Structure 1
Amino acid sequence: MRIHRTDVLVIGGGGAGSRAAIEAYDSGVDVTIICKGRHGLSGCTPNSASEWMAYGVALGIADPRDNCEMHFRDIVSIGGYVCDHNLARIIAYESPDRFRELVDWGVEFLREPDGRFKQVMSDGATYPRACGTGADTGRQIMDALKRQVEERGITVFENVMAVDLIVDGGVVVGAVGIDTESLELTAFTAGSTIMATGGHGCMYKYTVFPEGMTADGYAMALRAGAKLVNMEFMQIGPCVITPLKFDVGGILWRLGPRLINGLGEEFLERYLPEELTVKEVYNLKSVTFPFTMRNASGYIDIANFTEIAEGRASGNGGVYFDLSHVPASKIESEASIPFKYFLEHGVDIRRKPLEIAPSIQHMNGGILINERGETSLPGLYAAGEAAGGQHGADRPGGNSLADCQVFGARAGRYAAERASKRIVKPDLRKAEKIEDEVRRLLETDGSHSVSEVLKDVREMMWRNASVIRDEDSLSKTYSSLHRYRRIVQSDLSVDEDELVSALELRNMIDAGLAIVLAALTRRETRGSHYRTDYPKKDDENWLRLIEIQMANGDLK
């Protein structure tokens, strides 16, 4: 096993990880990024798309009444008051500085004819504060960050997946990584380690996440002993499932689509209470992309989910989102950004229906952090979607990109401060134990294939721990995940070509257990967490955050 020493190790090279690395480097320490794919091309930031991919920032341009305090209040209110208010306030008040930084680094946010930045309304915002470049805001931000990383000469290891954190005496001192092509192992030792691995979407059947988003950071942190928080809360929304991934929101709903199942039936109306019309629900959905029960837009996701789950899906497993009855000129003018984006990818929404399904779009919880980006484990920091506490049951649109930059910078700064004061000489036997675990997994000759278990886990998580949840289905899922965990430990058939997938499967199962346990524990409905057996919000008992920690292999 190779050894690579650095001051600050950043696990993940997306928007949060790259911003953390830049800040740490500028603080005067040696920095190393390990990136599961190609730096600048892999992960969520450069690979997510919607009709207006937003960076939320209170500039007060579109409406002078907007300010950082209003942004903070929106985060807390939309989050159902179950977030860390200090973290929420930091995002709101520091996102303008991080925004101006991105502008200086070359991100071309769209502007009005008078030169002011264009700001539009987004989910959960009181005033328009969503800035963007169109459908590709994340890619432009990632391009700018990559240039900054390259200009500084920061060391980047591409195609390296972190396997587990190295913990010595209760302190995180780095991680063991595996080259996903050669399978060579490296022990990366560091004074501080920043987890910026993104989210968990690939543990679900339907997701807008790119490949590789397999809950690695959550699982590694859990196994090392760190606390997770708010894992029951995630964004699930109507997304195109083929031939590309795309969040369906805003103007596309205001166009008045027809939702049609695989039997050719329009179905939404039969899911609505008598006092609601389809048009009213569409109008709500146009300003509430993710599934939530804080307003009636949630009926759309419940309807789509139920039609698919009960066997009335479209040809590719979703439902049809049809705009063919809408005048072509209206689509071209009022929905110009998504219309052009789809056309560039070979889809003409004027004539052909989209196939959509409730898909995992963002994890609102994560590794519990404080205002310095520190986790509950000394030496470990977290930022971006890997971190938790800054968002609650729902989050305002545009907060994810802002969060990545704000807490990426904070984690980088404070990780560098800590590393500059320490000389790390870890017991490398801790790394060798991780190496032994990888070898053991590779030598296992069990009766279950990786692909078989992975398919079962994804289907089960989507059916039982996404839109609709209840005690019975969650309990069965929890038991099943424990069974799959035992299979991974001793009865999995793994060859070299499947070793990385097996490691990812292990992570998805461990993180899945945390998600399901949190969902079982919260016996109420709040925002994105919908319990059919506890359909009402219960502030008296559940106006609090749920933390989960692993001890001796068991979750508490």
Structure 2
Amino acid sequence: MIVKNVSTDVLIVGDGIAGLRAALEAANRGAKVLVVSKIEPRTPNTSSVIGGWITHRDEHEIEELFYTLLEEGNFINDQDLALTFAREVVYRVPELRKFGVELKIEVREEERVGAFRSIWRVVGPTGRLGEGLVGPLRRAAMDRGVQILRNAIVTRLLCSNGSVYGATVLDLSNQRLLAVHTKAVILATGGASCIYEKSDNPVGTTGDGYALALRAGAELIDMEFEIFSLPPRQLCHLFSDNLDEDKILRGPARAHYTCGGIRIGIDGETRVKGLYAAGEVTGGVFGSARLGGAAVADTIIFGYRAGKAAADYAKGIIKIPLLEEQVRVEEKRLENILRSRGNSPSKLISELKKIMWQRAGVIRKEKYLVEGLKEIRELREELENIAVGKFSNLREAIEIDFMIEVAEAMCLSALTRKESRGSHWRIDYPKPDKDWLKNI
């Protein structure tokens, strides 16, 4: 396998809103920035399918928004993160205009619908949904010298003595392994909703960042909280006067948003030095359920903060250890997967999605979760003999490895929380319990 060494100041994994906002801020502070995304050019990511999002009218409403976030999260939010969100959203959203984003602002005063609150502005970019935001941010980043490598997937973070110094990256387009040596890393990979058989997320939302962070020594928090959506129900109220209830088509809920994730501080920092995270890949901001319309604002606020902090941290790093042995170990592992005979990653992915939907989906119970963990661990054993035959199929092999890691964390957390709270519903513990006003 061809191995190429690459150096940068800040490596950002993910080119959605959080990753691009982080890239812009890091570049503005003089950092050399490389963004890596496994999404191919012209392929949508999570950020491209967003709808409206919120801010508040002025700084006098900070306290009310803060309390609303806590109420929606059933009071297990990280309060420092929630307060940072409430304080900064009114500033971070409007400044997007300087990057070419055309904002459309409308004040909603009508009755609350679904998870949306009626007292704040709903802000959305003009143009085709999220592309009206992602497109300008990407162009602004490239104008500032940010390098964006697409159709590439990070396979592991390179760490030493509690600090991160790089990553191995499979460049699928050029069929080579990159050893990226960097002073700081920002994970902005989105959620894990595609770990379920039924999801409304774009393909590729497989929880990569959670697994990368966990293996590097960072902590995960609130992994039991996955929001499942029912879009048809949210739309039906608009036409309720003209609908025949018997003729409404019904379908299953779909995995929509992962509330839990990497434990961070207010600047996106983790307990691994030099490792930061922003956006849906993080946990703590929203607790057990997310306020509707808040996800995009979260990526903007903490993308900005993580980019700023990572660039400032990078200025203090004089020398980057190359960690060549870790690169060689990863190269050998990937070459072994390239053998022609073994378990198919696509088959394992399909099996895992079914396990998660049946054992850890909307309805949860100790028996289901225990069975799910057993089945997930059996799949892990099958990973030892995984094979893809050709380079272009390596992405699925990497993804199933990450997905199994994340699925186990989700099931363990759901099994541990013996109550129902927010998006976590246990039919054997159907009510909230004040003794569980804490994080796992």
TM-score w.r.t. the length of structure 2 is 0.92
Pick closer, same or farther for the CA change 1:111–1:218 going to 2, 3 Å. Answer: closer
Structure 1 CA distance for aligned equivalents of residues 436 and 118 of structure 2: 25
Structure 2 CA distance for aligned equivalents of residues 171 and 13 of structure 1: 23
360-369 vs 119-128, greater mean Cα deviation: 119-128
* Count of matched residue positions in the alignment of Structure 1 and Structure 2: 433
Letter in 2 for 1:544: K
Match of 2:93 among 92, 96, 99: 99
Pick closer, same or farther for the CA change 1:526–1:36 going to 2, 3 Å. Answer: same
Structure 1 CA distance for aligned equivalents of residues 23 and 151 of structure 2: 17
Pick closer, same or farther for the CA change 1:99–1:118 going to 2, 3 Å. Answer: farther
Is residue 2:148 matched to residue 1:164? Answer: no
Pick closer, same or farther for the CA change 1:8–1:544 going to 2, 3 Å. Answer: same
Structure 2 CA distance for aligned equivalents of residues 534 and 478 of structure 1: 19
Structure 2 counterparts to residues 1-400 of structure 1, below 5 A = 1-38=3-40, 41-46=43-48, 48-49=49-50, 53-59=51-57, 67-111=61-105, 121=112, 123=115, 125=117, 127-133=119-125, 136-238=128-230, 247-248=231-232, 250-256=234-240, 325=244, 356-400=251-295
Match of 1:432 among 305, 328, 344: 328
Letter in 2 for 1:55: W
Structure 2 counterpart of 1:449:
344
Letter in 2 for 1:543: L
Letter in 2 for 1:20: A
Whether the 8 Å contact between 2:57 and 2:120 is mirrored in structure 1 is no
Structure 1 CA distance for aligned equivalents of residues 42 and 140 of structure 2: 11
1:119 positional shift: 7.3
Is residue 2:378 matched to residue 1:479? Answer: no
Q: Deviations over 1:350-372 (max 9, x none)?
A: xx965642111111111110011
SS at match of 2:367: helix
Structure 2 CA distance for aligned equivalents of residues 249 and 399 of structure 1: 20
400-409 vs 493-502, greater mean Cα deviation: 493-502
Letter in 1 for 2:321: K
Whether the 8 Å contact between 2:109 and 2:118 is mirrored in structure 1 is no
1:486 positional shift: 1.1
Structure 1 counterpart of 2:399:
504
Q: Deviations over 1:510-543 (max 9, x none)?
A: 010000000000000001000000111001x210
Structure 2 counterpart of 1:543:
437
1:452 positional shift: 2.0
Pick closer, same or farther for the CA change 1:58–1:459 going to 2, 3 Å. Answer: same
Unaligned runs of 5+ in 1: 239-246, 258-322, 327-351, 547-556
Structure 1 CA distance for aligned equivalents of residues 412 and 402 of structure 2: 16
Structure 2 CA distance for aligned equivalents of residues 12 and 508 of structure 1: 17
SS at match of 1:205: coil
362-371 vs 450-459, greater mean Cα deviation: 450-459
Pick closer, same or farther for the CA change 1:433–1:201 going to 2, 3 Å. Answer: same
Structure 1 counterpart of 2:304:
409
1:110 positional shift: 2.9
Letter in 2 for 1:230: D
Structure 2 CA distance for aligned equivalents of residues 40 and 391 of structure 1: 31
1:76 positional shift: 0.8
Letter in 1 for 2:354: E
372-381 vs 490-499, greater mean Cα deviation: 490-499
Letter in 2 for 1:537: P
Structure 2 CA distance for aligned equivalents of residues 382 and 210 of structure 1: 21
Whether the 8 Å contact between 1:4 and 1:187 is mirrored in structure 2 is yes
Whether the 8 Å contact between 2:105 and 2:122 is mirrored in structure 1 is no
Identity %: 33
Whether the 8 Å contact between 1:14 and 1:40 is mirrored in structure 2 is no
1:201 positional shift: 1.6
TM-score w.r.t. the length of structure 1 is 0.74
143-152 vs 85-94, greater mean Cα deviation: 143-152
Q: Deviations over 1:99-130 (max 9, x none)?
A: 11123433333346xxxx66775625362332
Letter in 2 for 1:415: A
Whether the 8 Å contact between 1:106 and 1:144 is mirrored in structure 2 is yes
SS at match of 2:169: strand
Whether the 8 Å contact between 2:10 and 2:185 is mirrored in structure 1 is yes
1:211 positional shift: 1.4
Letter in 1 for 2:29: S
Structure 2 CA distance for aligned equivalents of residues 146 and 111 of structure 1: 22
Unaligned runs of 5+ in 2: none
Whether the 8 Å contact between 1:9 and 1:190 is mirrored in structure 2 is yes
Q: Deviations over 1:255-290 (max 9, x none)?
A: 349xxxxxxxxxxxxxxxxxxxxxxxxxxxxxxxxx
Whether the 8 Å contact between 2:105 and 2:124 is mirrored in structure 1 is no
Pick closer, same or farther for the CA change 1:449–1:401 going to 2, 3 Å. Answer: same
Pick closer, same or farther for the CA change 1:81–1:204 going to 2, 3 Å. Answer: same
Pick closer, same or farther for the CA change 1:192–1:54 going to 2, 3 Å. Answer: same
Structure 2 CA distance for aligned equivalents of residues 4 and 119 of structure 1: 52
Q: Flag the structure with larger Rg.
A: 1
Aligned-residue Cα RMSD (Å) equals 2.3
Whether the 8 Å contact between 1:110 and 1:133 is mirrored in structure 2 is yes
1:148 positional shift: 1.1
1:184 positional shift: 1.1
Letter in 2 for 1:109: L
Structure 1 CA distance for aligned equivalents of residues 253 and 409 of structure 2: 21
SS at match of 2:154: strand
Structure 2 CA distance for aligned equivalents of residues 456 and 537 of structure 1: 32
